[in-house]
Amino acid sequence: MISTIDTSILIREPAEVYHAKARENLSSHQLADFRKCPLLYARKRAGVAEQDERPAFIIGSGAHALILEGLDRFEEEFEVGGPINPKTGLPFGSNTKAWTDWAEAIGKPVLSEAQFDVIARMNAAVRTHEIAISLLNEGQAEGVVRADYCGMPCQIRMDWFDPHTGIVDLKTCDDLTWFESDARRYGYAHQLAFYRAVLSQVVGIHMPVHLIAVEKKEPYRCGVWHFASETLTVAQRENEAAIDRLRACLADERWPTGYEETRPFDFL
């Protein structure tokens, strides 16, 4: 049955279009914000909360483009390097006006040569991991699906989808040793449970879910995890309970922090 799913169900659209449509469609990141703090969700939705734009984000975005879509796509979306100072023969620093003017003229994110070297090493690590590359052998990157789920319009943008192997998510990390604890901290099971649930509204079944993680520093280790269906089912129940609370908050226009009541501190 899995092999009969047609990848034409996937919408192909630029990331900026997908993010713009988050105004009308609930995403996994929005739901994660709400689970953490309803007020945070409301402030981000209103555009008044500051968005975190750490340097690590551009490396992660670049790695996704190169690993999942190849060099041609990477070069369409990113620039590497910078203008050369004719007096020294070296690139201008990223804090100089010459570099800023050049980057603005380029009109797309710019990576330094050192940052691109990191991304290239990450790509090589994934390419030489037999299980990881087998999961990415066939399928489509950055496929979008929209569907009604729990009474709300929802959307997902999967890193990779293959009708045979299912959903594959790619994560970058500092140290693979601590990745499983980081995955719990960042709620990856809830994210992927949301993906699986929204996709199932379209395809009619729960697809398998895998996660590929690769380090951003030496030795650039790559690992693969398969998410047990039972784990995703527990996370799905928690997601659905959160969506119920979200619908109530939207109806009442009331956005608590979750810390309104006094909490006992009775542990060491």
- Residues 70-80 have pLDDT tens digits of 999 999 999 99
Rounded Cα distance between 180 and 260, Å, is: 31
- Single out the residue of 120, 141, 79, 144 nearest to residue 214, CA to CA: 120
Question: From the CA atom positions of the chain, what is the Rg in Å?
Answer: 20
> Are both 87 and 195 inside the same structural domain?
no
Q: Residue 237: its pLDDT value, please?
A: 98
Distances (CA, A) of 182 to 59, 128, 135, 238: 18, 24, 22, 19
> Are both 164 and 111 inside the same structural domain?
no
pLDDT in tens, 219-246: 999 999 999 999 999 999 999 999 999 9
Q: HSE on the CB side for 82, CA within 13 Å?
A: 25
CB atoms within 10 A of CB 169: 18
**122 pLDDT exceeds 80?**
yes
> Are both 216 and 194 inside the same structural domain?
yes
Q: Is residue 179 part of a domain?
A: yes
The dihedrals phi and psi of 54, each to the nearest 5 degrees, come to: -70, 155
Q: Residue 55: its pLDDT value, please?
A: 63
192: helix, coil or strand?
Answer: helix
> Are both 183 and 152 inside the same structural domain?
yes
> Are both 68 and 155 inside the same structural domain?
no
pTM for the structure as a whole = 0.92
> Are both 181 and 225 inside the same structural domain?
yes
**56 pLDDT exceeds 80?**
no
Of 84, 117, 150, which marks where a domain is finished?
117
**Encoding tokens for residue 84?**
């050369």
Q: Is residue 165 part of a domain?
A: yes
Distances (CA, A) of 57 to 13, 52, 101, 238: 20, 9, 22, 27
Q: Residue 14: its pLDDT value, please?
A: 92
> Are both 149 and 40 inside the same structural domain?
yes
Contact 190/235 with Cβ under 8 angstroms? yes
> Are both 165 and 45 inside the same structural domain?
yes
Query: Percent of the chain having pLDDT more than 70?
Result: 96
Q: Is residue 263 part of a domain?
A: no
| Average pLDDT for 41-48 | 92
Print the domain residue range for 104: 53-117
Contacts of 121 (CB under 8 A, 6+ apart): 220
**Number of domains observed in the structure of the chain:** 2
Strand partners, 107: none
Q: HSE on the CB side for 198, CA within 13 Å?
A: 29
Q: Mean pLDDT in the chain?
A: 93
> Are both 38 and 166 inside the same structural domain?
yes
